[in-house]
Amino acid sequence: MSEPDSVVVGGGIVGASIAFGLARTGERVVLLDEGDVAFRASRGNFALVWVQSKGLGLPPYAAWTQRSAGEWHELARILQDETGIDVAHSQPGGFTLCLSQKEVDARLAKLEQFHNLPGVAHFPYEILDHDEVKKRLPEIGSKVVGAVYSPLDGHANPLLLMRALHSYLATKGGEYRPAHAVHTIDRQTDGFRLRGTWGELRTAKLILAAGLGNVHLAPMVGLEAPVKPSRGQLIVTEKTAPFLHNPMVTIRQTNEGGVLIGDSKEEAGFENVTGTGVLSVMAQRAIDMFPRLRHLNVVRTWSALRVMSPDGFPIYDQTSSGPPAFVTSCHSGVTLAGVHAMTLGPALSKSARLPEVLAAFSPKRFHVPAHQ
Ligand SMILES: Cc1cc2nc3c(=O)[nH]c(=O)nc-3n(C[C@H](O)[C@H](O)[C@H](O)COP(=O)(O)OP(=O)(O)OC[C@H]3O[C@@H](n4cnc5c(N)ncnc54)[C@H](O)[C@@H]3O)c2cc1C
């Protein structure tokens, strides 16, 4: 492929989902990726497709998330049909289990605050007491005081998702190129010239989706992505017979049988390490929620770095003149894979503009004087 129609930089879930959408409309896409050695949230995450709790503080985010949860079904179906890979997507409804009345009250207050906002996209949810949770999840422990349940929540397998997205690209004539870190980008009148130790590549349209790498790449094309790492630690147990159909916000049984226990939120810069202090608190809470977990062996623990903007919401932006370049950075890339693949990618292909609904996500929202 000499000069592709578009180049996406970053082959994690976000870049690969957008590349899916571009390729599906017939564009010749090259996906340049630093590869497995990079910081990569996409291979270390908890993989919820999660709706409850999304959007407080930025109502368009709630609508964008709900739309994505809806579009996930079609994305999973296409990936299965065209690549033969089942990404283990399901939407059985999800629970946030609470271990004290204070936790229940805090959740309830946030949900009420959210649903009272004008123009907000409401989502269905229930607040459940211990007995009601026990009816639906008979294995919960006595320390569970209550839960929030939403039928829109689900989960998937993030590694299979990434593999399927890369495979889909190949079926459409696109190319995934690992070990292709982009070091410099020159903006020219009719396009962009990208360079790395691998050589150089030109394109008329550029999408930056390099996770934490966007911080350095975006300014090269006049954009910005002020994201920082937020560490999350996870535990996975040995495989066990299926007992947990629904995902919880910090516990889910994967399609392969292991139980994932997640996931801390820590300000630790780029220190991508685990520590028994945090892991033991996570494990104890999980055992309080499902006492049977105490009998399972832990087979692995790890940490990964979230791609976090200053307010926690996604960043989408585009150049206002010259050849089109876009930047996308987000914290919930698994959840948003549906809308990135089915809505954003096709929009960037057809109109080379961001959909109007994404105007609220411009990083200009961070340009406020300090006293405000
Ligand atoms: C602990 C944890 C739990 C999470 N749980 C969930 C969850 O339950 N649900 C959910 O929706 N989301 C969750 N997330 C968030 C989700 O994983 C991320 O939003 C998503 O993976 C971000 O994908 P990305 O492609 O933007 O970034 P990354 O996965 O970080 O990938 C960035 C890619 O860019 C490439 N790159 C970087 N720099 C360059 C360069 N200069 N040139 C070329 N390539 C480059 C890297 O090789 C990498 O492949 C979680 C994240 C973490 C860390």
Complete domains list, the chain, with CATH: 6-83+158-226+311-366 (3.50.50.60), 94-151 (no CATH), 228-308 (3.30.9.10)
Q: Is the pLDDT of residue 118 over 90?
A: no
| CA–CA dist 269, 215 (Å, integer) | 14
Query: Distance from the CA of 160 to the center of ligand 1, in angstroms?
Result: 14
Q: Which two tokens stand for residue 171?
A: 């079926």
Residues 142-176: pLDDT tens digits?
999 999 999 999 999 999 999 999 999 999 999 99
Residues 6+ apart with CB under 8 A from 256: 157, 239
**What pLDDT, on a 0 to 100 scale, did the predictor assign at position 2?**
74
Instruction: Tell me if 346 CB under 6 Å of ligand 1.
Output: no
pLDDT surpassing 80 at residue 370: no
231 lines ligand 1 (CB under 6 A): no
Per this entry, what is the length of the chain? 372
Residue 313's pLDDT is 97
The position carrying tokens 């698994």 is 334
Cα 305 to ligand 1 centre (Å): 8
Contact predicate 259/251, CB 8 Å: yes
Region of residue 152 (phi > 0: left; psi between -120 and 50: alpha; otherwise: beta): alpha
* Residue 178 CB burial class (10 angstroms; 0-12, 13-18, ≥19): middle
The tokens describing 49, both together, are 């497709």
Which has the minimum average pLDDT: 81-90, 105-114, 272-281? 105-114
Better-scored residue on pLDDT, 145 or 2: 145
Tell me the pLDDT band of 114, cut-offs 50, 70 and 90. confident
Chain mean pLDDT for the chain: 95
- Nearest-CA residue for atom 4 of ligand 1: 45
Partner residues linked to 305 by β-bridges: 231
7, 31, 46: which to mutate for ligand 1, most atoms within 8 A of CB? 46
DSSP state of 352: S
pLDDT in tens, 35-76: 878 889 999 999 999 999 888 888 899 999 999 999 999 999
∠ at Cα 82 (77, 87), nearest 5°?
50
Q: Which amino acid is residue 193, in one-letter code?
A: R
Judged by DSSP in three states, 77 sits in: helix
Which residue's alpha carbon is at the smallest distance from atom 3 of ligand 1? 45
Mean pLDDT lowest among 168-172, 277-281, 286-290, 366-370: 366-370
Check whether 372 has a pLDDT greater than 70: no
Q: Tens digit of pLDDT for each residue in 296-320? A: 999 999 999 999 999 999 999 999 9
For the CA of 234, the closest atom of ligand 1 is 1
* Mean pLDDT calculated for residue range 185-208: 97
Report which protein residue has its CA nearest ligand 1's atom 22.
Answer: 333
CA of 250 to the centre of ligand 1 (A): 19
Provide the β-strand partners of residue 98: 146
What separation in Å is there between the alpha carbon of 253 and the centre of ligand 1? 21
Average pLDDT estimate for 89-107: 96
pLDDT of residue 70: 98
Q: Is pLDDT at 371 greater than 70 in this prediction?
A: no
